[in-house]
Amino acid sequence: EKFNFSISLGLAKYYSDAISDNVKRAQEQMLRMGTYPSRPSYGYKREPISKDKTEIVVDVFASKVVQKAYEWYATSSFSMELLRQKIKSEFGVDWSKGMTDKILKDHFYYGLMTWKNKQYKHKYPPIITKELFDQVQQVKASFNKKPFKYAGKPYIYRGLLRCGHCGLAVTPEKHKGHVYYHCTQYNGKHGAEWLTEDDLTKQFSAVFDKLQMPQEAVDDIVEALQTNHKHKSDFYHDLLSRYQTEHQKYETGIEKAYDDYLLGSITKDKYEEKRKEYRAKQKEITKKIGKLNYADEEYYLTSEYLLKLASNAGKIFESSEVHEKRLLLKMTLENLELSGKKARYDWINPFDKIAFYASRQSWLPLQDALRTFDWREMREELISLSSPKFRVFG
């Protein structure tokens, strides 16, 4: 009886191990085919394609939330908490801190799936580009360093200003309900002034008021941008359709090669060779689609918004949220420093030209100003911008 019992245990273990091995082999085969064998990341969902089979597809709403989360965070104007608040206010989605962090470092969104600490390329449409993913990782790393260590607190100018005397960071402190900014004076006392956050906001509002442009000029450039946008939009959609068709052609080729392998028409090595070749071509197409998306129809709309921003920047700055104020400063100004109680700065192109031309309008009559203003030069400067950081206000 003991002998029979031992034999039964051995057979049961063998059967269990055999099932486990079969499952592992099936999963490994799926992973090599680019199929994810489990529940996909947020932004994707499973849909039934037959009675007993499902397929992973892009969830239109959730993928939009993920895409915007990456674009907003990539501007480096959001802490994790501010990003969660923005997502909740815009989409009504309440992510936990853990989920937000997990989503912002998930390779699945640009084409790689992780299974048991190994990475494989998947066959599903990417939600973001590899470039945007890498940019977000750089921002995440920077938030772990000073002066962003406590960036969850709503200090508007944390990490943006340096001391004009010694070059050290200007740090905020809260006293009796007011936020003050001052040099740390770590390298020696030099009589650094303390300035309230409200005083800084007033100074920067006055700076943005310098971007005023004649409405006739804004209307003229916007009209030209809209005309150009129509032609570019047609080109964009035509090229995107061709890329998607080509991508699907190689996916069909992989499936056909796999069927041939199962039927014995080709060897396993030949199938693997074809699969790697087609996956490499799909990867190149995905990169092209990513680059195309950076220059899509929002390209000219972004330029149009910049013009409207330039005309109302002072009011926009005063009424904006913390992350929007930080973004406006990063978009338009550089080399920010505090000299005494005066904030100093340099304009970023093309806002330097807008400020320069706008300053000329104060002493030129409107018609003379429009004649002397090189609007075509300004238009070229504006439509050369396509960074996703400008879309956060759109």
pLDDT digits (tens, 9 = 90+) for 322-343: 777 777 787 778 888 888 888 8
What's the pLDDT tens digit per position in 284-312? 888 777 766 655 544 444 555 556 666 67
Burial 238-275 (b: 16+ CB within 10 A, else e): eeeeebeeebeebeebbeebbeebeeeebeeeebeebb
pLDDT reported for residue 307: 63
**Cα separation of the two ends of the chain:** 78
Q: Are 59 and 44 in contact (CB under 8 A)?
A: yes
Q: What is the mean pLDDT of residues 151-170?
A: 78
Kindly report which listed range (19-23, 80-84, 225-229, 290-294) carries the lowest average pLDDT score.
225-229
pLDDT at residue number 231: 60
Cα four-point dihedral sign 223, 226, 232, 234? negative
pLDDT of residue 367: 44
| pLDDT at residue number 310 | 61
pLDDT at 106: 93
The rounded mean pLDDT for the chain is 77
Give the tens place of pLDDT for each residue, 24-52. 777 788 888 888 888 899 999 999 888 77
Reduced to 3 states (helix: H, G, I; strand: E, B; else coil), residue 155 is coil
Buried b (16+ CB within 10 A) or exposed e, 157-182: bbbbbbbbbeeeebbbeeeeeebbbe
Find the range with the poorest average confidence among 20-29, 155-164, 244-253: 20-29
Distances (CA, A) of 169 to 161, 162, 182, 197, 333: 6, 4, 9, 15, 17
Residue 119, φ and ψ in degrees, nearest 5: -110, 140
Q: Please give the structure tokens belonging to residue 373.
A: 């203003």
Percent of the chain at pLDDT exceeding 90: 14
Phi, psi (deg, nearest 5) at residue 177:
85, 0
Written as six digits, the tokens of 72 are: 């907003």
Lookup result for tokens 């037959």: 50
Per-residue pLDDT, 394: 39
- Identity (one letter) of the amino acid at 263? L
Alpha helices in 92-214 (DSSP H): 97-103, 130-142, 197-208
Q: Given CA atoms 316, 322, 327, 330 in this order, what sign does their dihedral have? A: positive
Q: Which positions ≥6 away from 353 have C-beta within 8 Å? A: 377, 378, 381
State the pTM of this model.
0.49
Residue 369 pLDDT more than 50?
no
CA gap 234, 283 in Å, rounded: 24
Largest CA distance in the chain: 110
Question: Hey, what amino acid is at 97?
Answer: K
If phi over 0 gives left and psi between -120 and 50 gives alpha, with beta otherwise, what is residue 111?
left
Q: pLDDT at position 293, please?
A: 63
CB 213 within 8 A of CB 238: no
- Provide the pLDDT for residue 151: 45
Which range of 99-103, 162-166, 209-213, 221-225 scores highest in mean pLDDT? It is: 99-103
Q: Could you give the CA distance from residue 54 to residue 222 in angstroms, rounded to a whole number?
A: 47
